[in-house]
Amino acid sequence: MNYALDGTKLNLLLQFSVIPGREHDWSLVQVALTDITARKKAEAYLEYLGTHDVLTKLYNRSFFVDELNRLDRKGPQPVTVLMVDLNGLKAANDELGHAAGDSLLRRAGEVFSSLVDRPATAARIGGDEFAVLLPATDEKAGEAILETLDDLVEINNQFYPDLTLSLSVGIATSRPGERLEAVVKRADLLMLDAKRQHYSDIAHDRRRRIAVGETATEH
């Protein structure tokens, strides 16, 4: 590592060879310095792509699986898991275009990035699915994180009033001796219940609006 005059970091490859016939005292040596900064940046980016989702800047499913297995082996316990689904992504894509759907995903990434710090991790594990791993976090602390998530979503929606960010969340905390795969399944089932309730509430509100509109028309 070296630095340019303006302070920019430079990665340099140093190579040298002793000129033939001077091996006994190294009195004549050829030295070559090659700037490999661009190569190192490319390597770092490829490494980033291996563990991150480019759109949301969160970790990807591969990293999530590896981290889940690592926590299963080494802890620290208990581990609280949040399984999250982004509501309305398909509708946003179908009605407003994929740019709107991508915007929702990026906003979800912003929320989760603000929610957790290491050693906790947040990952996009599917098209509209996210997961948060909270090591050394009991049920009470997990509920506090859930409240913080609600607050962050509310704040985010204040900046984007034209398209509401909505999440369905399931949360579960590991029990002594329980595999984390089972914890994920428990959280996932709770998330699915929350998602069904979300769309049930939307359908109820839509029927109520139609009923009110029909009554108003009759009068």
Closest CA to 82 of 184, 158, 182, 155: 184
Residues 31, 77 within the same domain:
no
> 175 in helix, strand or coil?
coil
Number of domains within the chain: 2
pLDDT in tens, 44-71: 888 877 889 999 999 999 999 999 999 9
Residues 16, 92 within the same domain:
no
Catalytic residues, by residue number, are 128
Residues 125, 39 within the same domain:
no
Residues 32, 140 within the same domain:
no
Residues 126, 19 within the same domain:
no
Residues 104, 198 within the same domain:
yes
pLDDT at 130: 97
* Residue 122 predicted with pLDDT over 60: yes
pLDDT at 50: 85
Binning pLDDT at 50, 70 and 90, where does residue 189 land? very high
* Residue 161 predicted with pLDDT over 70: yes
* Residue 215 predicted with pLDDT over 90: no
Tokens 């005292």 belong to 25
* Residue 37 predicted with pLDDT over 90: no
Torsion (CA) 205, 211, 216, 218 in degrees, nearest 10 = 170
Residues 28, 107 within the same domain:
no
Residues 30, 71 within the same domain:
no
What integer best gives the mean pLDDT of the chain? 89
Residues 38, 109 within the same domain:
no
Give percent of the chain with pLDDT exceeding 70.
92
Contact residues for 92 (Cβ-Cβ < 8 A; gap 6+)? 100, 101, 104, 163
β-strand pairing of 79-86 with 167-173: antiparallel
| Residue 119 within any structural domain of the chain | yes
| Residue 212 within any structural domain of the chain | no
**For the whole model, what pTM was predicted?**
0.76
Residues 16, 61 within the same domain:
no
pLDDT at 140: 96
Report how far residue 125's alpha carbon sits from residue 17's, in angstroms, rounded to the nearest whole number. 50
Tokens 């579960």 belong to 172
Residues 87, 153 within the same domain:
yes
Q: Could you tell me the CATH number of the domain that includes residue 144?
A: 3.30.70.270
Query: Could you list the residue range(s) of the whole structural domain that residue 10 is in?
Result: 2-44
| Residue 216 within any structural domain of the chain | no
| Residue 219 within any structural domain of the chain | no
